[in-house]
Amino acid sequence: MKWRPEYATGLASIDEQHKTLFASTDSFREALNAGEGAGVYDLFLQFLSAYAEAHFGLEDECMHIRKCPVAARNKVEHAAFLTLLDREAIRYRSAGFSPETAGALLDKVEGWLTSHICRIDIQLRDHAPG
């Protein structure tokens, strides 16, 4: 999935992190399509969860400082996303790897990122700090 100009939040650090989130799903999609998903799924889930958590922390702070009206909504959606990843990690640890489930998770993650960024994160650009 490509990052697009309409995803811009006006904050370079946030945009760079969004690009990294897209890039990590792209590289996992490539591994999955190449039949190499099993070997990297655990790492992918761990990376995504840790990276998303760090990104959400910074973004929540930016919205708080800028008094963004969607700041609370942003936090709630972030928590739901981390829960989705946690649930999949738990399922994976007990049931093991399945390309179908991994593909479905990837679709969910990409859909979530696009929808969330376009509805919530881009509202950062209308709220200058102060």
Binding footprint of Fe ion on the chain (CB under 5 A): 59, 74, 121
Nearer to Fe ion, 88 or 121 (CB): 121
CB of 39 to Fe ion, least distance (A): 28
Task: State in angstroms the smallest separation of the CB of 27 from Fe ion.
Answer: 19
Map tokens 């992918």 to a residue. Answer: 44
Q: Looking at beta carbons only, is 8 or 89 nearer to Fe ion?
A: 8
Rounded to 5°, angle at Cα 114 from 109 and 119: 125
- Closest approach, Cβ 25 to Fe ion, in A, equals 14
CB of 36 or CB of 53, closer to Fe ion: 53
* Burial class for 93, CB neighbours closer than 10 Å (0-12, 13-18, 19+): exposed
Nearer to Fe ion, 71 or 102 (CB): 71
Tell me how far, at minimum, the Cβ of 40 lies from Fe ion, in Å. Answer: 24
Contact 94, 44 (CB under 8 A): no
Token look-up 């990376």 returns 47
- In Å, how far are 28, 72, 83, 110 from 60, measured between CA atoms? 27, 8, 17, 20
